[in-house]
Amino acid sequence: MITGYDTARATRDLENKLAIQITGLTKLVLLTAKGGIRYYPAVRDKLKMEMFVLANQMISGDITADYWQAWLEQFGKGSLMSDSSQNAGLITYMNSDAWNRLRSKGSKVVVGRGQGNYRSIDGTVRYSGGGYAGVDLEELAARGGIDPKFKATPPSYFLRIAIQSNRERILKGVAQVLEEFPYHRYFKEVKD
């Protein structure tokens, strides 16, 4: 005769199975993301995976990169960078002191800064001699006249693509755990 259900044990065991599955799926997304990095290879070493279980209600696998070049890799740089419809942080960046005021917000072409100290995108304070103030640095870099780091790069959307390309696997993996979990084993029975 069934006398109840061991909800606490069932919840704990289901949560553990989901955590194992989500950890594996997060690793899959992480490896896919690393494979999608094209322009800033150092970002690969800065990607990290974290798992969170929030109040027994949500299990989250996060992939983060606490590294400024990850932003450039994801959304591009210069005239080729994605617009604010694809990059929610762009307007904040353009309104920050890291944005070169000589640079057009429309074309977003990288141009030289005026003479003086400035805060770069990585947060460090640097000095510009002002010799290229307002000059299109992307074009100069493309012609080989200056360091190629000033060339524009298109967005790779490496994180977005990693998630989208694994979407079906993620959904199927979580569904598999939920469908195959032995819920029936947690009924409490009185033994004769």
pLDDT at 68: 87
CA contacts within 13 A on the Cβ side of 191: 0
Determine, yes or no, domain membership for 44: yes
More confident residue, 191 or 139: 139
Question: Distance (Å, rounded) from C-alpha 51 to C-alpha 166?
Answer: 18
Q: Are 134 and 175 found together in one domain?
A: no
Angle at 85 between CA 80 and CA 90, to 5 degrees: 65
Q: How much is the pLDDT for 61?
A: 84
Same-domain check for residues 63 and 38: yes
The answer to whether 4 and 189 have CB atoms below 8 angstroms apart is no
Cα distances from 144 to residues 79, 112, 116, 129, 147, in angstroms, run: 18, 16, 25, 20, 7
What secondary structure does DSSP assign to 36-101, as a single string? T--S-THHHHHEEEEEEEETTTEEEEEEEE-SHHHHHHHH-BGGGS--TTT-TTHHHHHTSTTS-T
SS3 state of residue 26: helix
Same-domain status, 106 and 57: no
Q: Looking at residue 58, what is its pLDDT?
A: 74
pLDDT of res. 67: 86
Q: Considering the domain boundaries, does residue 90 fall inside one?
A: yes
Q: Are 73 and 126 in contact (CB under 8 A)?
A: no
Q: What is the number of structural domains in the chain?
A: 2
Name the residue range of residue 129's domain: 83-150
Asked whether residue 76 is assigned to any structural domain, the reply reads no
The answer to whether the CB of 43 falls within 8 A of the CB of 73 is: yes
Looking at residue 64, its pLDDT comes to: 84
Q: Is 126 a domain residue?
A: yes
Has residue 151 got a pLDDT over 90?
yes
If asked whether residues 172 and 140 sit together in one domain, one would say: no
Closest CA to 6 of 191, 189, 186: 186
pLDDT digits (tens, 9 = 90+) for 21-63: 999 999 999 999 999 999 999 999 999 988 777 665 678 888 8
The answer to whether residues 31 and 47 touch, using CB atoms and an 8 Å cutoff, is no
The pLDDT of 88-96, averaged and rounded, is: 92
136 in the same domain as 93 = yes
> Does pTM top 0.85 for this prediction?
no
Q: How far apart are CA 100 and CA 96, in angstroms?
A: 9
Q: What is the pLDDT of residues 100-122, one digit of tens each?
A: 999 998 899 999 999 999 998 88
Residues 165 and 145 in one domain: no
Residue in this structure with the two tokens 């353009």, named with its chain if needed: 94
